[in-house]
């Protein structure tokens, strides 16, 4: 069978690439060895948010008295039902992707694809051909030799989504988004959680002030935080518990827990797909591409977690659009009066990032530490949610909005921590993308009472014109 474009992988990069190509009139097929929608939809971004929502509702119920509500009886988490709801959400979204592929006449081919050269691929013994092949094979949890994953005692994020019962104790190794979200989920449900982080702060990619706020939040949940700590080994003892040898500020010690969650990053799915045979260049577990996601082999492209850059679903989708638009000679996939133009490259300086703990964390652009290290003159506007009417009324006053501006008053970075701040991030992301100034943000009227006022208020602080702080 011959196609214009074959996409290998149906995650947020793959299915977006396939649908956009079909919308542009191309004959498209997408190859998927597992569930349509990829890891993010089925075993990552979406089902974890369902779990976290259950934890949030549980905490609201426990705090009902604070809101003037009386509960008759005790509210208890039912992990089996929580997991079942999460899986139902994933299944619903999976059906949505299948519907979109069918609606856009994208053929779904089930199986494992391997590149054969000359525009050909092999899928479990059947050969297909295309003018263009887009690799969007995604990634999987990284497994460390000193912490082998057995799926029962030492688990990955996939197993953490479907535990049959709540453990009494859990050690989470790694505190990026995946580690922090699961640490919050299980701690919120009453599990005694210990977070072990190799670097000096938890959430090491976030602004230092944000990390300190989140550390206090975890401690309120009675979680233990160990930073600047290295895991040396994990062994299952005679009682079926995990002995975790760590080396940190107190020297070497052994921690004991029912379960260890390994959240130490991801590994690209690039093995066995024919890269070496075709001479496709890779470096440090990533496929090397240009700004239009072309590999060094003509007709073969790569996007998403397998190329350098942030391993985020929305980044993969943006790369997919750029790649397909470039293949089709279009700017954002839309013709214009001046004729087709090459696709604009993805702006990696303006990538929003979210962590769905409680409080939530949202950021875009440079941290204050990065600005200092680059020797940039800057100013900061910081607005605490303790001064927010909406946050106070909602009973969620933890956190702040922090905006960083350069000497020309352009936004360098935005860092938010608090309730629902992930829904606030679009404004500073757009502001940074458009080159908005501190004056423009401060002088834009924001609705009252809203959490979003915090963005305006932070800009006013940077101007020295704050009213409410």
443 is catalytic: no
Please give the pLDDT value at position 333.
45
Does residue 178 fall inside a structural domain?
yes
Q: Please spell the DSSP secondary structure of 19-45, one letter per residue.
A: HHHHHTT--EEEEESS-TTHHHHHHSH
305 and 181 in a single domain? The answer is no
Q: Please spell the DSSP secondary structure of 406-421, one letter per residue.
A: ETTSBEEEEEEEETTG
Please give the pLDDT value at position 102.
98
Report residues of the chain scoring pLDDT below 70: 331-343
Coil vs helix vs strand at 224:
strand
Please give the pLDDT value at position 331.
61
Does residue 220 fall inside a structural domain?
yes
205 and 79 in a single domain? The answer is no
Please give the pLDDT value at position 438.
98
204 and 275 in a single domain? The answer is no
Please give the pLDDT value at position 138.
97
Question: Could you say which of 66, 153, 446, 448 is catalytic?
Answer: 448
Please give the pLDDT value at position 343.
67
46 and 125 in a single domain? The answer is yes
- And the tokens for 252? 């070497």
Does residue 135 fall inside a structural domain?
yes
Q: Please spell the DSSP secondary structure of 128-142, one letter per residue.
A: EEEEEEEE---EEE-
Q: Report d(CA 59, CA 43) in Å as an integer.
A: 24
399 and 420 in a single domain? The answer is yes
Q: What residues contact residue 112 under an 8 Å CB cut-off, 6+ apart? A: 33, 123, 124, 272
Does residue 147 fall inside a structural domain?
no
- CATH code for position 444: 3.30.390.30
13 and 127 in a single domain? The answer is yes
50 and 111 in a single domain? The answer is yes
228 and 164 in a single domain? The answer is yes
| pTM of the predicted structure, to 2 decimals | 0.95
300 and 239 in a single domain? The answer is no
Residue after which a domain boundary falls, among 228, 247, 264: 264
Q: Which domain holds residue 17?
A: 2-141+267-328
437 and 291 in a single domain? The answer is no
- CATH code for position 274: 3.50.50.60
Does residue 335 fall inside a structural domain?
no
Q: Write a three-state SS string for 50-112.
A: HHHHHHHHHHHHHCHHHHCCCCCCCCCCCHHHHHHHHHHHHHHHHHHHHHHHHHCCCEEEECC
Residue after which a domain boundary falls, among 226, 246, 264: 264
Residue after which a domain boundary falls, among 328, 348, 380: 328
13 and 128 in a single domain? The answer is yes
Does residue 346 fall inside a structural domain?
no
If one counts the domains in the chain, the total is 3
Q: What percent of the chain is helix, strand and coil (3-state, nearest 5)? A: 35, 25, 40
Q: Report d(CA 301, CA 314) in Å as an integer.
A: 18
Please give the pLDDT value at position 68.
93
Give the Å distances, CA to CA, from 4 to 27, 123, 134.
Answer: 5, 17, 11
Does residue 342 fall inside a structural domain?
no
205 and 274 in a single domain? The answer is no
pLDDT above 70 coverage of the chain, percent: 97
Does residue 334 fall inside a structural domain?
no
Dihedral sign, Cα of residue 64, residue 66, residue 67, residue 70: positive
């Amino acid at each position: 069978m011959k196609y214009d474009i074959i996409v290998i992988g149906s995650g947020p990069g793959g299915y977006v690439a396939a649908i956009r190509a079909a919308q542009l009139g191309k004959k498209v097929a997408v190859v998927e060895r597992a569930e349509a929608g990829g890891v993010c939809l089925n075993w990552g971004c979406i089902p974890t948010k369902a779990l976290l929502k259950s934890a949030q509702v549980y905490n609201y119920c426990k705090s009902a008295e604070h809101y003037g509500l009386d509960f008759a009886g005790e509210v208890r988490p039912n992990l089996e039902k929580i997991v079942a709801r999460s899986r139902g959400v994933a299944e619903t979204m999976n059906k949505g992707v299948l519907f979109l592929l069918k609606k856009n006449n994208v053929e779904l081919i089930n199986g494992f694809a391997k590149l054969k050269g000359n525009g050909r691929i092999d899928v479990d013994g059947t050969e297909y051909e295309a003018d263009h092949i887009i690799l969007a094979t995604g990634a999987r949890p990284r497994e460390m030799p000193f912490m082998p994953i057995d799926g029962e005692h030492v688990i990955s994020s996939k197993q953490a989504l479907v535990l049959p019962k709540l453990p009494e104790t859990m050690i989470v190794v790694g505190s990026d988004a995946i580690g922090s979200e699961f640490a919050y989920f299980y701690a919120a449900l009453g599990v005694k959680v210990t977070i072990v982080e190799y670097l000096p702060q938890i959430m090491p990619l976030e602004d230092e002030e944000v990390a300190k706020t989140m550390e206090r939040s975890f401690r309120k949940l009675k979680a233990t935080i160990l930073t600047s700590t290295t895991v040396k080994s994990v062994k299952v003892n005679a009682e079926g518990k995990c002995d975790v040898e760590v080396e940190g500020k107190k020297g070497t010690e052994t921690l004991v827990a029912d379960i260890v969650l390994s959240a130490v990053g991801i590994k690209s799915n690039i093995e066995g797909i024919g890269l070496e045979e075709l001479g496709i260049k890779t470096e440090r577990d990533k496929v090397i591409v240009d700004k239009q996601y072309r590999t060094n082999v003509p007709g073969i492209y790569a996007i998403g977690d397998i190329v350098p850059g942030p391993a985020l679903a929305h980044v993969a989708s943006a790369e997919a659009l750029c790649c397909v638009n470039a293949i089709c000679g279009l700017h954002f996939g839309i013709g214009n009066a001046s004729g087709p133009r090459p696709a604009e490259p993805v702006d990696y300086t303006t990538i929003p990032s979210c962590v769905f703990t409680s409080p939530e964390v949202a950021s875009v652009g440079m941290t204050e530490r990065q600005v200092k290290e680059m020797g940039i003159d800057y100013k900061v506007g910081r607005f605490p949610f303790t001064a927010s009417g909406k946050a106070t009324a909602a009973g969620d006053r933890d956190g702040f909005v922090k905006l960083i501006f350069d000497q020309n008053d352009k936004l360098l970075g935005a860092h938010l921590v608090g309730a629902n701040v992930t829904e606030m991030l679009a404004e500073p992301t757009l502001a940074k993308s458009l080159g908005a100034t501190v004056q423009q943000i401060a002088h834009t009227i924001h609705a009252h009472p809203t959490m979003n006022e915090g963005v305006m208020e932070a800009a006013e602080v940077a101007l020295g014109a704050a009213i409410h702080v």
